[in-house]
Amino acid sequence: MATSTAVSSGLAELQIRLGYAFRQTALLQQALTHRSFSADHYERLEFLGDSVLNLAVSHLLYAQLSDMPEGDLSRVRANLVKQDTLHQLAKTLDLSAVMRLGEGEMRSGGQGRPSILADMVEAIIGAVYLDSGYKDAQALVERLFQKVDIKPDMQAVGKDPKTELQEWLQGRKLALPKYTVIGTSGAAHRQVFEVSCEVTELRQTQQGSGASRRAAEQAAAEALLKILKSESAA
């Protein structure tokens, strides 16, 4: 068990890596806490950070890729905010060294699980937003992505179901889908998320499940995309 001194030292070092000093360090601690460790966990901060991240990355791309049309900007953004990219950022920040997990989650390798690490990056962004507002959260996002090679041809890289669904809808001038967590089940270290994916204009909704919110969203998007492609081919 880490001592309180070691924990404080770890949080202080992380803030140096982030380039941001928290006024309320409890927010940072919460952002690094998995539900298997405590009821005061990161998921609400992650929900907030997800929106802040998308807005900050959108602004970054708008400024850097000034000649790129909206559809291509959306595809590049999808690559930047996907799990793989955020996982790499988490590794750069060494979040595994300071995250708080329950014993069961630790034994199952949770400290290296990409979905948890990616979620914690978003939670930290949400924590900065609550701590001092959007301007500092945006600045953090820009620092995190400084070493990411942002280029126009990123839209061709590794399309996941959410990205593919977004492109399918945009190609038909339809609004983006809405993802909603409709339930969770299972023990804290083996939790299953249930998510719905809805396209209001088409009156279509499908559900998906997964070990993380991200995984469940991908499963729901894949299920809905399959239905839409099947109907359009009929």
Active site residues: 50, 122
Query: And the tokens for 141?
Result: 């996002």
Query: And the tokens for 226?
Result: 């399959």
**How many residues in total does the chain contain?**
234
What is the longest distance spanned by two Cα atoms in the chain? 64
Q: What is the 3-state secondary structure (H, E, C) of 5-34?
A: HHHHHHHHHHHHHHCCCCCCHHHHHHHCEC
What is the three-class DSSP state of 65?
A: coil
Q: How far, in Å, CA of 34 to CA of 14, rounded?
A: 17
Q: How far, in Å, CA of 49 to CA of 204, rounded?
A: 27
DSSP 150-209: --GGGGGS---HHHHHHHHHHTTT-PPPEEEEEEEES-GGG-EEEEEEEEGGGTEEEEEE
230: left (phi over 0), alpha (psi -120 to 50) or beta: alpha
Helices (H), 19-113: 25-31, 43-64, 70-81, 83-93, 103-107
